[in-house]
Amino acid sequence: MRKTGWGAGLALALMLLGAACRAAAPRAEATAVGRAVSATLTSCPTPTPPAVSTVAPTGTRPPTVTPLPTSPPVIPTVTVTASPVFSPTGQPAVAPTTCPTLQPTVQPTRQPALPPVAVWEQDITLNTYGWQEALLPTTPDDPIFPYPRLDFDALSGPTPLSYRAVFVQNEYVQVVVVPELGGRILRWTDRTTGRQLLYANSVIKPTRWGYRGWWLAIGGMEWAFPTDEHGLNEYRPWQYQLLWNGVRVWDTEDRTGMTVEVTIRLDSAYSYFTLVPRITNPTAEPQSYQFWINGMLTLSDVNAPSPDLIFIIPDDQVTVHSTGDGSLPGPGGSMSWPVYGGRDFSRYSEWRQYLGVFAHPAQADFAGAFDLGNGQGVVRVFPHTIATGLKLFCLGDLPAELWTDDGSRYVELWGGLTATFWDDWTLQPGGSVAWTEYWYPVSGIGGYNWANEVATIRLAPVGESAEVAVATTRALTGVVVLHRGGVEVQRWEVSVAPGKPFQAVSEPAAGVGDWTVQVFEGGGLVAQMGP
């Protein structure tokens, strides 16, 4: 009897305990999910964000010597406060995970795992000439009013100055944005090769170039607006908004009252960063303008272009903007591309004097550059029917002291809305224009002659065979198929990823006809070069 009663009591107790556990399960699951979300959020590396989402930097902090890091700092334990993600229009947008505003409390004993895309702020130090004290106000009769002139005689020598930078990083690339310097991208690193892709001037130095009669030679990638020749507002602080996977920078231009903004994002699975420029006219009058992206490139380990650098411009003609080479047409003149006068201008080594050319008009959705010596390149993918401008500029034999103190050099790859610097667009009251570009590094394929946002292809016929190379912006397992004259020559099963391209020489293919390379993934076509 006692045994039977004990068993019944145990059964009743177990039944009650099971009911309690079932009732508590949703709370326990919610608690577990809460812990998982908290772990994800607190790994967002934003140790000392601004007190508010929108920040207007001043650029007047006392100098500190802080080198550019290549990885996020150790992240302390944090208190999580949710903050909204903003779309390029400035309206709140839904994002899978919002990187919160974080306040550090205590130092952890270990580094938490990083999220797929890490975003954090950090002070950096750049040697800077004393240009701000040399600014001269202008009057309404000055063509650049209300922007200032610069008294070059009043410049003081360079000293270290601290700037607030936003770091955006995934497995493949790191991008460093400095809102205080016109919202520019200061550094862009291919983490698969460890190479810096943009020109890194050793000093911020005023030059006598540009629409204002002066321009800060800083390097990186700048936004020129609302005029040609580096614009008017690229030197001053822009406002910025941290995003969970990037940063948005913007400014209201003084002459037109128009708003210019650029959103820079990384995707955890891709090696590209996306640029979304947006120009808005909130005024009651039509406004004329230009917008240009100026990427200052080196692609080498010595902070200067090498003689092995080549330019990839899928066009057959260019228009000269300016040149110091008397053997070439003057401004507005046409040149066949890439060979003109027996010289191959796709090779940097042929740009002997300064030269700027427009691909007029751009005929494809990609362009870029590649250093054949070190195997490093960059690709710009853009909608050429919207962003119609594509320009190259090389310094030639201009003396480096014009823009730097260490003899370093660079080339400029420009992209813009208008086809040339001689053209303007007009934006109606309340109007807005925006588009998306993809910029990514590519390496190890010996150059390229076709690209989209997923893959870069090099196809080089060699007799009856062909050299084929494919690099991708994400991990991809699929099939590469080579055709000639519509007949399949060979196919390869491939597994590629950023920094891990595919290369092969095909079997001989007798016959005639155009070559075609196709890249398939899961039966779907993701890239094709040729008919």
What pLDDT was estimated at residue 499? 96
- Please tell me the predicted confidence (pLDDT) of residue 425: 95
Residue 26 lies in a domain: no
Q: How far apart are CA 127 and CA 217, in angstroms?
A: 12
Q: Are residues 485 and 432 in the same domain?
A: no
Do residue 395 and residue 489 come from a single domain?
no
Q: Does a structural domain hold residue 319? A: yes
Cβ atoms of 358 and 389 closer than 8 Å: yes
Burial 199-236 (b: 16+ CB within 10 A, else e): bbbebbbbbeebbbebbbbbbbbbbbbbbbbbbbbbbb
* Residue 260 within any structural domain of the chain: yes
End position of a domain, from candidates 400, 428, 443: 443
Backbone angles phi, psi at 15, to 5 degrees: -65, -45
For position 72, what pLDDT does the model report? Answer: 46
DSSP one-letter string for 24-82: HHHHHHHHHHHHHHHHHHHTS--SS--SSSSB---S-PPP---PPPSSPPPPPPEEEE-
Question: Based on the structure, what is the number of domains in the chain?
Answer: 2
Whole-number CA gyration radius for the chain: 27
Asked whether the beta carbons of 480 and 426 are under 8 A apart, the reply is: no
pLDDT given at position 115: 57
- The residue out of 393, 410, 443 marking a domain boundary is 443
User: Residue 499 belongs to a domain with what CATH number?
Assistant: 2.60.40.3110
CATH number at 242 reads 2.70.98.10
Shared-domain flag, residues 168 and 283? yes
Domain presence at residue 32: no
Residue at 153: amino acid letter: D
- Is residue 312 within 8 A of residue 369, CB to CB? The reply is yes
In a domain, 451, yes or no: no
The Cα-based distances of 323 to 283, 380, 398, 407 in angstroms read 38, 25, 11, 21
Q: Are residues 122 and 232 part of one domain?
A: yes
C-alpha span between 468 and 445 (Å, rounded): 9
Q: Are residues 206 and 126 in the same domain?
A: yes
Question: Do residues 142 and 287 share a domain?
Answer: yes
| 53 in any annotated domain | no
- Do 438 and 498 reside in the same domain of the chain? no
Q: Would you report the helix, strand and coil content of the chain in percent, each value rounded to 5?
A: 10, 45, 45
Q: Which of 411, 443, 475 is the last residue of a domain?
A: 443
Query: Is residue 363 situated within a structural domain?
Result: yes
pLDDT along the chain (531 residues), means of 10: 38 39 36 29 31 34 37 34 30 32 34 72 97 96 96 96 98 98 98 97 96 96 96 97 98 97 97 98 97 97 94 96 96 96 96 94 92 97 96 97 96 96 96 98 97 98 95 98 95 97 94 93 95 90
| C-alpha closest to that of 185 among 275, 116, 289, 120 | 275
Task: Please tell me the predicted confidence (pLDDT) of residue 330.
Answer: 96
256, 226 Cβ separation under 8 angstroms: yes
Indicate the pTM of the whole model.
Answer: 0.80
Task: Give the residue carrying structure tokens 């920078």.
Answer: 249
Looking at the fold, whether 387 and 483 belong to one and the same domain comes out as no
Q: What is the rounded CA–CA span in Å between residue 148 and residue 255?
A: 12
β-pair partners for 160: 127
* pLDDT at position 362: 78
Is residue 234 located within the same domain as residue 366? yes
Residue 242 counted as domain residue = yes
Phi, psi angle pair for 49, to nearest 5°: -75, 165
481 and 439 in a common domain: no
Say if residue 438 is in the same domain as residue 507.
Answer: no
For residues 249 and 241, what is the distance between their CA atoms, to the nearest angstrom? 6
Same domain, 276 and 389: yes
Residue 351: which domain range?
118-443
Element (H, E) at 366: strand 366-371
